Chains A and B, each alone.
Chain A
Amino acid sequence: MSFSLKVNGKSVTVDVPPDMPLLWVLRDVLDLKGTKYGCGIAQCGACTVHLKGVPVRSCSMPISSMQGMEITTIEGLSADGTHPVQQAWQEIDVPQCGYCQAGQIMVAASLVAQKKNPSDADIDAAMTNICRCGTYNRIRKAVHRAAALGGAPATKAHGATDDEQMEATR
């Protein structure tokens, strides 16, 4: 069956089984490999993307429910790693293996877009993804740092001009 949606600002139409999760459409049909598979049952958050700016676990969202939806993936957060959350993550050298980090960043991007200055309790409540390597201390620090860098509209930066991105990082 064919389904149309918007991914990172681009309209796409895919011809896939209706129960195929968005995760696998992204990874294996659209070749966007940044969104990761960890559990397939909405437990780990490695597959987190934004649905209209809200973080969702794409392994558990059948493509049939995505008709006409606007999705942003890690690849769409910024063209070159300049989103404040991505910057903070690099500055603080958050990753160990790095496998969970795209999902963590997507949740963090939405958090700092909604809350100018998230508290530790806000972070505990929002950042529920698993990091098997245990980088939580640095994730927490990086969320605070990203907020200090000015947060950013969660899905805005895709297709943003260099100027806008510069703005976002100031």
Chain B
Amino acid sequence: MTTSVTVDRRAFLRVVAIAGGGMLFGSYVRTLNAMSPDASPDASPDGYTFNPFIKITPDGKVTIIGKNPEVGQGIKTSLPMVIAEELDVDWKMVTVEQAISDQRKYGVQFAGGSLSTPMNYEAMRGVGAAARWMLIAAAAKTWGVPAGECTTSHGTVRHASTKRSLAYGKLLGAVATITPPALPKAAGGTAEVATAADGTPVALKDPKSFRLLGTRVPQVDDKRIVTGKPLFGIDVVVPGMAHAVFEKCPVFGGKVVSANLDRIKSMPGVKAAFVVDGGAALDGLLSGVAIVADTWWNARTARNQLQVQWNEGPTATQSSEGYAKRALELSALPPEKVVRRDGDFEGAMKGAAATAEGAYFYPFISHATLEPQNCTAHFKDGKLEIWAPTQMPQPGRQLVSKTMGIAEDDITIHMTRIGGGFGRRLKNDYMVEAAWIARQAGMPVKLLWTREDDMHHDHYRQAGYFWLKGGVDANGRLVAWRNHFIMDNVAANQFPARFIPHYALETSALPHGVPTGALRAPGSNGLAFVIQSFIDELAHAAGKDPLQFRLDLLSQPLLPATGPADQGIMDPERMKGVLELVREKSGWGKKLPKGTGMGVAFHFSHRGYFAEVVQATVGAKGALKIDKVWVAGDIGRQIVNQSGAENQGQGAAIDGISEALGQEITISAGRVMQNNFDAYPLVRMDKAPPVEVFFLITDNPVTGLGEPALPPVIPALCNAIFTVTGKRIRSLPIGNQLAG
């Protein structure tokens, strides 16, 4: 079914011939993506820029640009699939090329917030559909038949009644004579139509006719990965390149006073050693000592002899113990800030039939991407060329430009494949370090952090302390909730706001010197643990089935929104949908052997609805075995790549379990106490449960998946542990809390 819509007059298709035959197809737009916080200035005098995403050559080969950084989320495969679907070419005809960082050409390019799919899905459809329209128009003109009688499939235009067909590669000459149309724009998801200058419609495909989207497509880099091809930042080689290590103060924000540079310069292979002054921003260029050598091993070996006198600065007096002590003090004081107050919490607690109370904590954790931070930079004739595994190339360019006084236009950034991001590479500290060191050393340099550097200089997931109280009425209805959150801010509309009539959300700040940043499902990855565990406490206090208790909570009448900040909360019906799905798939409520039990939790984040059930067994001496995880998600009307989507869902669940079981960064004397994976355990094969992933298809916009599947698994696990043992996990990681 197709419906007409208003055409976005600012977006057109454009076609450009390339040397040696072949055509580039792309959008031609006046503004970049409206969601962009930093759209680059327009490139051409009329304000339009050309965004070439498709190349077709006379031999019929199709090249599609992967516009965003590939961090393991599968975007280099999935966005080109969207174009290929609308273009109506076979996936095997397609080669995907990674774009360089150029926001004028490709629009906003980053990997974060699970936004790549929602920001690009409809736009990529439009580009593919308009290119297909051009090819049809070219064939119709060649044959002298109405375009409306032509169809496409497998990269070929066909005219059924005259049994004629022409492959796309054979139509490129004729394409050059066609006036490109405006881009179709889908608002509601049904196939919609824009109108070309001559009045013929430019339609998106009806999703029912999709041949590629929703199928299982292996990542385009799989073969290169399994054969060990150099794809990652760490693999970059530039002719004449040297290798660098960079030692920063173990205490956050500390500065170099002096270093034994002469000794270092005399070490084998060392080409340069110098102090970098750096600035104050913990995610910018920091003070440290750079050592540049012929091999990384020589640079690292020289570093063993490095003696630095540091001015450690004020953070040196801080510790995890100190933070906990301060949090406890703050919990006894009136909160600094009342974020929200609905109804009468105190009154409701007095009248409650049952109440619960708990102090919750989650620690700082590290991203621990398996590929340590690294970057290669080459400074020549005032220009910088950078090869970086970064989730945020454009902000990296801005950071380098500002720190080094080099114009943004003189900085080229190549986006390499990324050996894991999880939010770590939203920061570009390693990029500015590499650029600075390369310029000062006067040679191309690859900077590689050691694992220890990586663990000591992360932008950690913020820790948090919570004091909660809640109550249920005689009908077992959750009526009162108070949360005093000690660390930083929390959104006033954070669930369960508006679902509970007597509700108080309060915060007190706990300032500290530890750099923090987004980690996969930021905020949510910790909050879900607290909120969904405490809901479980109240379900048990009410004597209700924890899953039914959640469905009932989601069915309570919503308090009216108090302002714009209350917009954008979850749609309870969608959450109930995934809860019902996970109830069915997990066999919730079935009889399980003694020592085995299930826990459930849900969470809404990054536009995604996820409910998860964990089945766990606790044996002698508290030995915990996670038997299985069921993940049910609703991310809209279309799964782009079934294989990639399941992989993300499984990975998120295992990532969350890994965080819950053992991950913790502790601070002592202003520095991180964990050095490497021996002290920072990640889940391995023997502890990784089978994870089954299910998607509920609903008629909603297509949204992202990197993050929202993670948060519920942690409370679902803790709730399962409670079911089995009666022990409530209120502090992460679980560690050995079950022992004894």
Contact = CB atoms under 8 A, between A and B. Distances in A.
Do chains A and B stick together as partners? Answer: yes
B655 A90 contact: no
Nearest to A44: B677
Contact of B228 (A34, A90, A93): A34
Interface string A98-142: 111110010000000000000000011101111111111111100
Contact of A101 (B225, B643, B654, B685): B225
B650 interface: yes
B678 A74 contact: no
Given A97-B71, A128-B684, A132-B369, A137 B691 contact: yes
Interface residues of A, number: 61
B446 to A, nearest CB: 9
Interface in A45-95: 46, 73-75, 77-78, 80-81, 86, 89-91, 93-95
Nearest to B77: A93
A35 interface: yes
Contact of B653 (A44, A129, A134): A134
B73 A96 contact: yes
Interface string B622-662: 00000000000000000000011001101111110010000
B369 A24 contact: no
B547 interface: no
A28 interface: yes
B678 A41 contact: yes
B43 interface: no
Nearest to A96: B72
A43 B227 contact: no
Contacts of A36: 232, 234, 370-371, 419
A135 B647 contact: yes
What is the interface of chain B mostly: helix, strand, loop, or mixed? Answer: loop
B334 interface: no
B685 A140 contact: yes
Interface string A1-45: 000000000000000110111001000110111111111110110
Given A132-B369, A137-B690, A34 B684 contact: no
B147 interface: no
Interface stretch (B33-41, B213-221, B308-316): B213-221
26 contacts: A17-B268, A17-B298, A21-B297, A28-B296, A36-B419, A37-B234, A40-B676, A43-B678, A73-B228, A74-B227, A93-B647, A95-B222, A97-B417, A97-B418, A97-B421, A98-B219, A98-B221, A105-B226, A124-B685, A130-B682, A134-B650, A134-B652, A134-B653, A135-B651, A136-B654, A140-B685
Interface of B: 71-74, 216-219, 221-223, 225-232, 234-235, 237, 243, 268, 295-298, 301, 368-372, 417-422, 448, 450-451, 643-644, 647-648, 650-655, 658, 676-678, 682-686, 688, 690-691
Given A39-B677, A93-B216, A97-B421, 15 more contacts: A33-B234, A33-B237, A36-B232, A80-B227, A90-B218, A94-B222, A96-B72, A96-B74, A96-B420, A99-B232, A132-B682, A134-B652, A134-B688, A136-B688, A137-B691
